[in-house]
């Protein structure tokens, strides 16, 4: 079979990797020695896709359209925050509000303690000029 189902070890590694590096740092997770071997069969895109599948929630809530002919994507409200579960290894819980999808930052385990590299986008990109003044 070409569809390789995710094992629980792989999923655990993915969650741990996200705890360490944050959501979206798929490549970093793959490079980590603690996860590389477990996830050796997975690409960064696979990680992203799996995380998306894990976090399939709401998005439709009941009766959306149910059109039986078209496979059009509905313009459902795209939630992009929160993490339903993902508390497997987290000690302290952080307030999830709408803080984007930033990860569990405070992991107790020393093993999973790394400065979250993301969220530093505010660094003045010298080559970036557009401030997007009139965007809504």
Partner DNA sequence: CGTTAGGGTTAGGGTTCT
Partner DNA sequence: TAGAACCCTAACCCTAAC
94 to 123: interface string for a second copy, x by CB under 8 A = ------------------------------
Spatial distance between the Cα atoms of 13 and 15, rounded to a whole number of angstroms: 5
The nearer residue to DNA, 48 or 89, going by C-beta atoms, is 48
25 interacts with DNA by CB under 7 A: yes
Residue 14 binds which entry of a second copy, DNA, none, with Cβ cut-offs from 5 to 8 Å by kind?
none
Contacts with 118 (C-beta within 8 Å, 6 or more apart), sequence order: 21, 22, 24, 25, 102
Neighbour-count burial for 8-38, b at 16+ CB within 10 Å, e otherwise = eebbebbbbbbbbbbbbbbebbbebeebeeb
Residues at the site binding DNA, with contacts judged by CB under 7 A: 1-6, 23-28, 42, 44-46, 48-50, 52-53, 56, 64, 66, 68-75, 78, 80, 118-119, 121-123, 125-127, 129
């Amino acid at each position: 079979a070409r569809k390789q189902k995710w094992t629980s070890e792989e999923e655990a590694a993915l969650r741990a990797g996200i705890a360490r590096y944050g959501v979206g740092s798929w490549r970093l997770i793959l490079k980590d020695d603690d996860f590389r071997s477990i996830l050796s069969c997975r690409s960064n895109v696979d990680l992203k896709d799996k995380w998306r599948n894990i976090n399939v929630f709401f998005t439709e809530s009941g009766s959306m359209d149910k059109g039986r002919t078209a496979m059009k994507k509905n313009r459902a409200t795209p939630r992009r925050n929160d993490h339903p579960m993902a508390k497997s290894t987290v000690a302290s819980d952080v307030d999830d509000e709408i803080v984007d999808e930033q990860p569990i930052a405070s992991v107790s385990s020393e093993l999973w303690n790394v400065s979250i590299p993301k969220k530093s986008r505010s660094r003045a990109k010298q080559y970036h000029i557009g401030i997007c003044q009139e965007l809504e």
